[in-house]
């Protein structure tokens, strides 16, 4: 902890010292330094535009907790950067209390996690940690790189008619940002000169047929129509390869992460710092520990029919001023000031904070804004609506001895999937992953064995991000409304996946077998008295978790009243304002949104710079 505090102070001073004399007006103001905003701000500065990047947290780029990818669980728990959002999965209070890791405030900065809280504990909800740090959530995640389905890109084309979003065109943005660190140079599907390093793990262990994990993997291959005799080759398949049938191919893969071969995380933090390092060439300014309280508009343009124009932002300066910060002290406020943009303001606060900022600025559903006496700048009913996420779950067991295996990654299609596309991303290994709560994960010892699952293409987009008040220091009211639409079908697909993975475990043999399953079917593997599909569906309905929030400021068609953005990320009905982050997606992009959002940021950079050149 001592190193963490010193590192944060040194990094903050370093950034501030380079840009001590911030001008009052910039060409562009970018709010949020995560996978959407961080690369965008760097790109704008590298294009010669005077750009201000505002980040509510500090800079932990030199801190091993964040820089070393192996420490990602510690990073997500660290109070240095953690913002706690306490969310709901449904409108049913009784259902919420059945979530095994529901969390309670027991006072003095302590928590109780579970279903039998001590007297006087205050129910908080389901923890959804976000990262307030230079680089955003790409600084505390597992760094998994996965591409969206082609249909996720093409959906924007279908909604807006903008053919620049066609999947075959979007690949170029991936190649522009990638610095591939695991394939020989010259692979036409990849990039080698970008700012984002990608690497893959050592899978040589898969050649040892005596390993328990190899026996399990062979069974996984057999159950999904792959050749079990070739698993050592299959597990080295490039998960980011370019294949026109990629979305329909069930295969084992080598997991790719945004990191270097040295295990160091690669993220927007690195790109921002590299841009700041050449201040004479790239006019980028970074303000850390700065909370944007609202976007400022000029509503008196001199033309009655002219839309309001974003002209800057109001900020509150200071550490831990937002109430999601566990270090926040009640009543603490910072000085408030205003900064102006001559061209545009771009909001990149993520799926929770971007809609909150828009609403606090007067852009959102009229009734909600008027409820809190916020002056309506633009009645835009879709702001904060349509919140979506991947459903995630796991099957967890204990072996009789530790399971000898590396990480097994597979993307596959269950038999009831509604399209020919794959619908489950799984990774299996000697770890536990059951969601998020203060202090996660539970360590079940050396014999733990898990297959974690991400459900691709959830049917329901029924969540919302609502204001609690007009106070910008308040956190919003977030409800995902899991399984509200198409829930039975989604649960069926998840249960099918669990059944297939459980079946593969039966091939483990001695000495790891017999497995004692902890959930969703407690008991000796294959002998649980209550392992019906219905019982498992009920388990996953109550215990599913998520950490890929998206779609709360979605791109949509001109005639869609719930559309917040056009295909160029422009907020509808106002000028000079865009949103560039995961909230812009019409659907959750594939299995992991971080790489798709960085690609989205690259496209937004191109669109914004093109518009600037036309002006």
Residues in the annotated binding site for FAD: 133, 141-144, 292
Q: Would you state the torsion angle of the CA atoms of residues 423, 428, 431, 434, taken in this order, to the nearest 10 degrees?
A: 20
For the beta sheet containing 103-107, the strands, ordered from the edge strand earlier in sequence to the opposite edge, are: 82-87, 122-131, 103-107, 110-113
> What one-character-per-residue DSSP string does 12-50 give?
HHHHHHHT-S--SEEEEEEE--STTHHHHHHHHHHTT--
| Closest listed residue to residue 128, CA positions, set 341, 406, 353 | 353
Give the number of other Cβ atoms within 10 Å of residue 305's Cβ. 5
Contacts of residue 108, defined as CB under 8 A and 6 or more positions apart, other chains included, come to none
| Omega before residue 463 within 30° of 0, cis | no
Strand partners, 298: 309
Helix (H, G, I), strand (E, B) or coil at 290: strand
User: For residue 383, what are the CA distances in angstroms to 317, 338, 354, 561?
Assistant: 26, 24, 9, 10
CB-CB contact of 63 with 4 (8 Å): yes
CB 107 within 8 A of CB 101: no
Closest CA to 131 of 120, 143, 123: 143
For residue 571, the Cα-to-chain-centroid distance in whole angstroms is 22
- Most distant pair of Cα atoms in the chain: their distance: 80
Bind-site residues: 133, 141-144, 292
Total number of residues shown for the chain:
615
Q: Could you identify the residue written with the tokens 């890109």?
A: 153
- Judge contact between 596 and 581, C-beta under 8 A: no
- Map tokens 């103001």 to a residue: 29
Of the candidates 292, 324, 368, the residue with the CA atom closest to the CA atom of residue 475: 324
CA-to-CA distance for 135 and 133, rounded, in angstroms? 6
In three-state secondary structure terms, 472 is: coil
Cα–Cα distance, 90 to 181 (Å, whole number): 42
What does 436-468 look like in DSSP terms, one character per residue?
--TTPPP---TTEEEEEEEESS-S---EEEE-S
Q: Which residue, 15, 31, 13, 19, is CA-closest to 316?
A: 31
Q: Under 8 Å CB-to-CB from 159, ≥6 apart: which residues?
A: 555, 556, 557, 560, 563, 567, 586
The answer to whether the peptide bond before residue 166 is cis (omega within 30 degrees of 0) is: no
Interior angle at CA 338, CA 335 and CA 342, nearest 5: 160
Question: Cα separation of 16 and 288, whole Å?
Answer: 8
Do the strands 363-364 and 577-579 form a parallel or antiparallel pair, or are they unpaired? Answer: unpaired
């Amino acid at each position: 902890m001592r190193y963490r505090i010193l590192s944060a102070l040194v990094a903050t001073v370093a950034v501030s010292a380079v840009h001590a004399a911030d001008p009052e007006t910039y060409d562009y103001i970018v709010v949020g330094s995560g996978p959407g905003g961080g690369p965008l701000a760097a790109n704008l500065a590298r294009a010669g535009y005077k750009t201000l990047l505002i980040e509510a947290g500090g800079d932990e780029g030199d801190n091993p907790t964040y820089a070393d990818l192996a420490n990602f669980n510690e990073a997500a728990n660290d109070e240095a950067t953690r913002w706690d959002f306490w969310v709901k999965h449904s409108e049913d209070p009784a259902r919420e209390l059945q979530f095994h890791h529901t969390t309670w405030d027991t006072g003095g900065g302590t928590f109780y996690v579970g279903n039998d809280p001590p007297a006087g504990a205050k129910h908080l909800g389901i923890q959804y940690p976000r990262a307030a740090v230079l680089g955003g959530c790409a600084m505390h995640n597992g760094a998994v790189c996965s591409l969206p389905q082609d249909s996720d890109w093409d959906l924007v084309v279908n909604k807006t008619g903008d053919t620049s979003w066609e999947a075959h065109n979007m690949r170029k943005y991936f190649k522009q940002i990638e610095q591939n660190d695991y394939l020989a140079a010259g692979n036409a599907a990849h990039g080698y000169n970008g700012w984002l390093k990608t690497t893959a793990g050592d899978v040589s262990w898969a050649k040892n047929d005596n390993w328990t994990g190899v026996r399990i993997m062979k069974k996984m291959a057999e159950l999904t129509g792959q050749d079990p005799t070739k698993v050592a080759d299959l597990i080295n398949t490039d998960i980011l390869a370019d294949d026109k049938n990629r979305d329909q191919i069930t295969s084992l893969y080598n997991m790719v992460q945004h990191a270097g071969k040295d295990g160091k995380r690669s993220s927007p933090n690195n790109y921002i710092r590299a841009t700041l390092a050449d201040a004479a060439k790239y006019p980028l300014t970074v303000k850390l520990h700065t909370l944007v309280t609202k976007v400022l508009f000029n509503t008196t343009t001199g033309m009655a029919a002219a839309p309001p124009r974003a002209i800057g932002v109001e900020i509150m300066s200071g550490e831990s001023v937002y109430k999601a910060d566990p270090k926040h002290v009640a009543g603490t406020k910072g000085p408030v000031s205003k900064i102006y943009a001559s061209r545009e303001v771009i909001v990149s606060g993520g799926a929770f904070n971007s809609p909150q900022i828009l609403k606090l600025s007067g852009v959102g559903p009229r009734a909600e804004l008027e409820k809190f006496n916020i002056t309506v700048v633009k009645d835009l009913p879709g702001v904060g609506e349509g919140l979506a996420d991947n459903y995630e779950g796991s099957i967890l067991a204990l072996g009789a001895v530790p399971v000898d295996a590396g990480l097994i990654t597979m993307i596959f299609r269950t038999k009831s999937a509604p399209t020919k596309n794959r619908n489950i991303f799984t990774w299996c290994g000697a770890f536990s992953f059951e969601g998020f709560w203060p202090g996660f994960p539970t360590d079940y010892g050396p014999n733990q064995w898990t297959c974690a699952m991400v459900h691709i293409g959830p049917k329901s987009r029924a969540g919302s991000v609502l204001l609690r008040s007009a106070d910008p220091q308040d956190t919003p009211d977030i409800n995902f409304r899991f399984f509200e639409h198409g829930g039975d079908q989604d649960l069926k697909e998840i249960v099918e996946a669990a059944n297939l993975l459980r079946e593969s475990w039966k091939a483990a043999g001695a000495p790891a077998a017999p497995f004692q399953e902890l959930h969703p079917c407690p008991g000796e593997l294959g002998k649980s008295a209550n392992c019906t599909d219905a019982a498992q569906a009920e388990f996953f309905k109550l215990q599913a978790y998520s950490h890929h929030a998206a779609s709360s400021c979605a791109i949509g068609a001109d005639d869609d009243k719930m559309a917040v953005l056009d295909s160029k990320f422009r907020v509808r009905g106002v000028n000079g304002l865009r949103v560039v982050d995961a909230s812009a997606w019409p659907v959750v992009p594939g299995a992991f949104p971080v790489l798709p959002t960085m690609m989205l940021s690259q496209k937004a950079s191109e669109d914004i710079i093109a518009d600037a050149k036309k002006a």
